[in-house]
Structure 1
Amino acid sequence: MPAAPIVEIDPLHPQPRVVERAVSALSSGGVIAYPTDTFYGIGCDLFDKRAIERIYQLKQLPRTHELAFICQDLAEISRYAIVDNAAYRVLRRKVPGPFTFILPATRLVPELVLRRQKTVGIRIPDSPIALELVRRLGHPLISTSAAKPEGEILIDAHDIKDELGHGLDLILDGGFRPAEPSSVIDLSGPEPVVVRAGKGDVSDLLA
């Protein structure tokens, strides 16, 4: 297929018509690139199995590779993850922000994105674009980094088009995104565990 078109979008005030175009692509089984508060993400509808398979193929990922997804708020997280009081206190402090939280999954989560321990990786990014996409779509959006198969992070929409555009339906250009990964916090056990210290401040969670 031809390389995906690039459409400029305002990172702070995403234009409704651009958001609608992206949501239309997602609702039709499309795969898009979009900016978050960390990397550019490659995403699709959480409930579209064929679109998720396309992401695995595009990034040449093994099926064991775990995909995170984006929720719009804490109420939505609680539909897809089991959130106890301790986890809720951490979430309330940290969202929206550059964090990925590992939580026990509920039965709503598709098998394809479950981790080995029946957990899920969930984000509420501090990104008006990502949150508006999820809000307009009506349920979560898969999110994996826009990177070459060998792992190099792509920080510009035009680089994404050159490297991955053949497998995408739309690229939302929100400007350069520095290659800063999210911090990963495991909230599936009795105490929070920092799996990866990235862009988000985790100093309050380190013993």
Structure 2
Amino acid sequence: MVTDIINAIRSNLLVCFPTETVYALACNAMNYNAVEKIYHVKKRDHDKPLSILVNSIDRIMEIANVQEQYIDLINRFSPGPVTYVLSLNNETGLPSKFFKKNVGIRIPDHPIAISILDKLDFPIVATSINISGKKSACTINEIPQTIKQHLSVIIEDDKLVHGMESAVIDLTTDQVRILRKGYVFQS
């Protein structure tokens, strides 16, 4: 199934797979049409950015500017359920309509997600699989049919999905800001 997901992503199709947080709706982050389709099927406003998954801190640094003071923090919480908001490098190749100044990037800690990312040489958009504003899918049965019909491949594996979105921290300034507590910083 992982090979099918990889082939679909390379063909700029939409896929679904589990992460340690929730199920991901994913595509090639470099392809304008694929990213646009995610906005369409989620019914998401274009002013709400999508996050990217990568497999290493080196990949993060290819896409975004990481202040030296935050490298240890990223290494401490990665891989894991933390999304870092960072300023984009100028020459990322990401579609500028969707990725403007900043980007959310995460290194997942789920064997399926990592096995997919390790075989791709580009970042993928990976967002919670839900209609925008609704509950994220934590099991395969919670994926809305209106989204399922647009998926080329689905990998089911509910057992390692915790059911809470990633924490989101803003690292674009000299002061770390927690934008969403998520799985890591819940009280």
TM-score by length of 2: 0.91
- AA at the equivalent of 1:179: G
| Offset at residue 55 of structure 1 (A) | 0.5
**Residue type of the partner of 1:192?**
V
Partner letter of residue 72 of structure 2?
Answer: R
CA distance in 1, matches of 2:41, 2:119: 25
What is aligned with 1:5? none
**In structure 2, what is the equivalent of residue 144 of structure 1?**
127
Question: Do the aligned partners of 1:113 and 1:120 also contact (CA within 8 Å) in 2?
Answer: no
Question: Please, which of 168, 175, 186 is the counterpart of residue 191 of structure 1?
Answer: 175
Q: Distance in 1 between matches of 2:98 and 2:25?
A: 15
Residues 1:79 and 2:62 are matched in the alignment: yes
Per-residue Cα deviation, 1:12-66 (whole angstroms, up to 9, x for no partner): xxxxxx2111101111111001111101010001111111111111011111111
How many Å apart are 1:179 and its aligned residue? 2.8
If you compute each CA radius of gyration, which structure gives the higher value, 1 or 2?
1
Partner of residue 56 from structure 1, selected from 25, 36, 39: 39
Percent of aligned pairs sharing the same letter: 27
**In 2, Cα distance between the equivalents of 1:127 and 1:137?**
16
Between 1:193-202 and 1:76-85, the stretch displaced more is: 193-202
Q: Tell me how far apart the structure 1 counterparts of residues 69 and 115 of structure 2 sit (CA, whole Å).
A: 28
Q: How many residues align?
A: 184
Shift, 1:163, TM fit: 4.2
Runs of 4+ in 1 over 6 A off after TM superposition: none
| Alignment correspondent of 1:11 | none
What corresponds to 1:4 in structure 2? none
Match for residue 163 of structure 2 among 140, 162, 179: 179
- Matched to 1:113, the amino acid is F
* Contact 2:29/2:122 (<8 A) preserved: yes
- Contact 2:79/2:109 (8 A) holds in 1: yes
Structure 2 counterpart of 1:9: none
Offset, 1:202 = 7.8
Tell me the residue number matched to 1:46: 29
RMSD across aligned C-alpha pairs, in angstroms? 1.7
Name the counterpart of 1:3: none
- Letter in structure 1 aligned against 2:95: P
